Amino acid sequence: MASSDNNISINILDKCTVSPPPAPSTDVTVSLPLTFFDMVLIRFHPVERVFFYKLHSPPSFFFEHVLPKLKTSLSLTLQHFLPLAGNLLWPSHSDKPIFQYNPGDGVSLLIAESDADFSHLLGYNSPREASETRCFVPELETLESRAALMSLQITLFPNSGFSIGISTHHAALDGKSSTMFIKAWASICQSLEEEQKESPILVREFEPFFDREVIKDPKDVGPSFLNNSSEVMSKMFPDENNVKKSLKILPFEPKVKDSVRATFKLTRSDLEKVKKKVLSNWNSNVNNGDDEESTNTPPSTLSTFVLTCSYVLVCIAKAINGIFKERKKFGFAFTGDCRNRLEPPIPENYCGNCLWAYVVDAKPEDFVKENGVVLVAKGIYKTTKMLGIEGFRGVEASAFDKYMNMAKEGVEMIGTAGSNRFGVYGIDFGWGKPEKVEIASIDRGLTMGLAENSDGNEGGVEVGLVLNKQVMDLFRTLFREGLEDD
């Protein structure tokens, strides 16, 4: 029995390794090189997500029917995702690490039971201790010379439901790829009949594409990225052992002390209110240095991403500034999916990393101004518009330098995780869709977690946050008041 600081007890019932089923296709070694997209994230913290499912059945039903089906379908799914059952390795003779699956490799799976109040965990708008979610995600084992790519935890809440926690190595998978794996697992589980002898067919949209050759590195920037990211990490973590060939994840420790976690919903109607306010005031406050087109010609519409991020960012910044008066400078960095921006574009089912970071061109003081939502929305819109025009130009300029320079100047950087386009609330293993999905790893930095609305509200967005308790209280007030009718 293990207990946490928040009085939630976790009883670890089993720890096992789930491997792909024995077959000619799984009895081979599979190696994959890392692309320059992957190399930037070798020592970055894992992405951790928890899916909560209601299950009003006695524990015996869970242990006799649900759990065996989940484990069997996981094994069957891994045969389609062999590299994920392997590890990240750094051969002594090589200047680059590799992903490698060897026969017999598998994914670590924890089976646990918790006495936590399930309905409390499913709540919205009402903050709860940030450390609680940590109980339901597994650790990802990383050593100097080897790192697991994925680990899982299934937790039973007797007579209430269960959760599936997943931790993935960010150098191996971006959010789109890890979500595709979960969807594939759910699809196979849902179609799996008890006592079935053959594996269900994996639907085409979930078939992973692993060929790294489609991502070209014409300037051979991968090795330089390794060196550059190593330099950046050594500045961020000066006390760590920054051995060049180390694969050990750096200590992006969860910030859970005196912090709470909450999820907020923005309906389509809410976003329309934000859009109306932004567009009607588009030209009311001209930033020096804005080009004439972006200043004088309001767009016909604004994306859900621009509206959501600008509104939430300003509420966060004003809440932090309201509690900690000296913190007035903020910045925003986000990652963009580059699958459609490469030349030539790569398949949508590419399973790996295809993200690049971008820092929004907005003045650090804009976030706390009275018209901050307008100013920040214009900055995000300008950045996303340029991405559409220019395609991918990330190999020519990294956001690392800009990010680090802003941090040195005392700018508090805010980021994003997840997406409202992933469709996480449609992932049904056979006992219903999830009641709640949380990105646990947003507590490792000042990050907003994005997903579509759980209630099926077309075009709505959920935003998960972990903030200081006092900051969260003020954020809730600002968030609510900003959506009230004038």
Distance CA 75, CA 21 (A): 6
Catalytic residue among 217, 290, 428, 473: 428
| Sequence spans of domains, the chain | 2-236, 259-481
Q: Give me the pLDDT at residue 27, please.
A: 94
Q: Sign of torsion, CA 34 38 43 47?
A: negative
Q: pLDDT tens across 302-333, in order?
A: 999 999 999 999 999 999 999 998 888 999 99
Q: Over the stretch 50-89, which tens digit does the pLDDT of each residue have?
A: 999 999 999 999 999 999 999 999 999 999 999 999 999 9
Task: Please tell me if the domain spanning 2-236 has the same topology as the one spanning 259-481.
Answer: yes
Location of structure tokens 């450390």: 131
- The class (CATH top level) of 259-481 is alpha beta
Asked whether residue 265 carries a pLDDT value surpassing 70, the answer given is yes
Per-residue model confidence (pLDDT) at position 406: 86
CA-based nearest residue to 152, from 9, 52, 49: 49
Q: Write down the pLDDT at residue 376.
A: 97
DSSP 42: T
Neighbouring C-alpha atoms within 13 Å toward the C-beta of 383: 22
More confident residue, 172 or 240: 172
Architecture of domain 2-236: 2-Layer Sandwich (3.30)
Question: pLDDT per residue over 429-484, tens digit each?
Answer: 999 999 999 999 999 999 999 999 998 777 899 999 999 999 999 999 999 999 99
Pair type for strands 107-114 and 150-157: parallel
Indicate the pLDDT class of residue 357, thresholds 50, 70 and 90: confident
Asked about 170 being catalytic, the answer comes back as: yes
CA distance 178 to 180: 5
Amino acid at 3: S
Q: What is the pTM of this model?
A: 0.93
Q: Which residues of 423-437 are buried (b: 16+ CB within 10 A; e: fewer)?
A: ebbebebbbebbbbb
In the numeric block, which tokens belong to residue 452? 């579509």
Please write down the long-range contacts of 55-58, taking CB distance under 8 Å and 24 or more positions apart.
55/160, 55/161, 55/162, 55/431, 55/432, 56/159, 56/160, 56/161, 57/159, 58/158, 58/159
Annotated catalytic residue, options 170, 174, 270, 443: 170
For residue 46, pLDDT over 90 is answered with yes
Mean pLDDT of 105-127: 95
Q: What would the mean pLDDT of 277-294 be, rounded to a whole number?
A: 68
Residue 200 pLDDT grade (very low, low, confident, very high; cuts 50, 70, 90): confident
Averaged pLDDT for residues 157-178: 97
Residue 292 confidence class, pLDDT cut points 50, 70, 90: very low
Per-residue pLDDT for 174 more than 60? yes
Q: Report the alpha-carbon distance of residue 375 to residue 455 in Å, rounded.
A: 31
pLDDT-derived band of residue 294, with 50, 70 and 90 as boundaries? very low
How does residue 218 score in pLDDT terms, banded at 50, 70 and 90?
A: low
The pLDDT assigned to 178 comes to: 97
pLDDT of amino acid 243: 67
